[in-house]
């Protein structure tokens, strides 16, 4: 493992190793045990999309590991003025220990990794959100004690979250059921991977996908950069909501996850969100611990 670009690149062993290390780092942080494993290391954080959780969790994580995080807005970099991404990669490789990038196109993340000489971490693209899904898997394991054999249900858009949850869940031997409107299916290469697994199913019926689920997950109907489509998407996604009826189809002790920010009344009701708020904000906290594990695994070599 030289980079974290997408869930497809990770083996089940890689995921287990990251989750185990994340658990250990969380324990140490909660008990005041210092762990400056990245002292002297620097992480450049390139943001082409705004962020709350990604920026703060990576910045705090590098500080707790003894390293230096450097915030790099695309407005302040030459990449925002047209410098080829491969040139940015070659320059930043001379200064930094690693790069985290939150951007629109997966191809930009892949190009950074291909042209640089330091580890690259995908902080979000339209195709993949591996850091969030590692935090989700960590949280599910905390609540359920294991991953194998559990049923994971995702309701909503077939974008980065659905793509990454399908791959991550199946690799960890979970049953994965997704519900999405026609025209919003996951990426074709993810479907090609998923259909080889009998534990995968896809439907247009949210209640059917949630039936017997141990964990039910959703995301906003219109992600960042899709604001112009918000009106159309509200119509297309009507009914693709975690509400009492859908949750009643899941197991009584089902966990609810949401990567945030949440639009109450759209993809999730206020009642369901608030009744499962502890799980959702544990998930948000685990971004910190899961990403610290990724940083140690990649930058601590």
What six digits make up the tokens of 105? 């196109």
What six digits make up the tokens of 196? 């080889």
Encode 154-175: b = buried (16+ Cβ within 10 Å), e = exposed.
bbbbbbbbbbbbbbbbbbbebb
Sign of CA dihedral 239, 241, 247, 250: positive
Catalytic residue among 64, 106, 132, 241: 132
Catalytic residue among 233, 276, 287, 289: 287
Strand runs (DSSP E) across the chain, as ranges? 42-47, 68-73, 98-102, 120-124, 151-155, 175-179, 200-203, 215-218, 255-258
**276 catalytic, yes or no?**
no
**153 catalytic, yes or no?**
no
Within 8 A by CB and 6+ apart from 263, the residues are 220, 221
Catalytic residue among 157, 180, 219, 257: 219
Per the omega criterion (within 30 degrees of 0), is the bond before 261 cis?
A: yes
Catalytic residue among 214, 259, 276, 289: 259
CB atoms under 10 Å from CB of 20, counted, come to 13
Catalytic residue among 53, 64, 106, 129: 129
**258 catalytic, yes or no?**
no
**9 catalytic, yes or no?**
no
**264 catalytic, yes or no?**
no
**219 catalytic, yes or no?**
yes
What six digits make up the tokens of 95? 């200064």
Q: What's the rounded Cα separation, in Å, for the pair 150 and 292?
A: 26
Q: Percent helix, strand, coil in the chain (nearest 5)? A: 45, 15, 40
What amino acid positions are annotated as catalytic residues? Answer: 102, 129, 132, 219, 259, 287
């Amino acid at each position: 493992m030289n980079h974290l670009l997408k869930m497809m690149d990770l083996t089940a062993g890689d995921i287990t190793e990251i989750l185990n290390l994340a658990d250990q780092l969380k324990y140490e942080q909660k008990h005041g045990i210092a762990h400056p494993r990245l002292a002297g290391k620097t992480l450049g954080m390139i943001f082409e999309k705004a962020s709350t959780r990604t920026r703060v969790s990576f910045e705090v994580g590098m500080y707790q590991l003894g390293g230096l995080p450097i915030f790099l807005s695309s407005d302040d970099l030459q990449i925002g003025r047209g410098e080829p991404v491969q040139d940015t990669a070659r320059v930043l490789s001379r200064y930094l220990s690693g790069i985290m990038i939150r951007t629109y196109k997966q191809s930009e993340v892949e190009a950074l990794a291909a042209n640089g000489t330091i580890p690259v971490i995908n902080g979000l693209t339209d195709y993949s959100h591996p850091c969030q899904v590692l935090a989700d898997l960590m949280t599910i394991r905390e609540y359920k004690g294991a991953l194998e054999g559990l049923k994971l249900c995702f309701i909503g858009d077939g974008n980065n979250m659905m793509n990454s949850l399908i791959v991550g869940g199946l690799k960890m031997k979970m049953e994965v059921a997704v519900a999405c409107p026609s025209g919003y299916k996951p990426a074709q290469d993810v479907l090609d991977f998923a259909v080889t697994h009998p534990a995968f199913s896809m439907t247009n019926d949210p209640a059917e996908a949630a039936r017997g689920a141990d964990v039910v997950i959703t995301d906003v109907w219109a992600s960042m950069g899709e604001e112009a489509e918000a009106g159309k998407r509200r119509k297309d996604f009507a009914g693709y909501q975690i509400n009492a009826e859908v949750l009643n189809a899941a197991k009584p002790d089902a966990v609810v996850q949401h990567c945030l920010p949440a639009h109450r009344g759209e993809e999730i009701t206020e009642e369901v969100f608030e009744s499962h708020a502890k799980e959702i904000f544990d998930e948000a906290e685990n971004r910190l611990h899961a990403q610290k594990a990724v940083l140690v695994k990649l930058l601590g070599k």
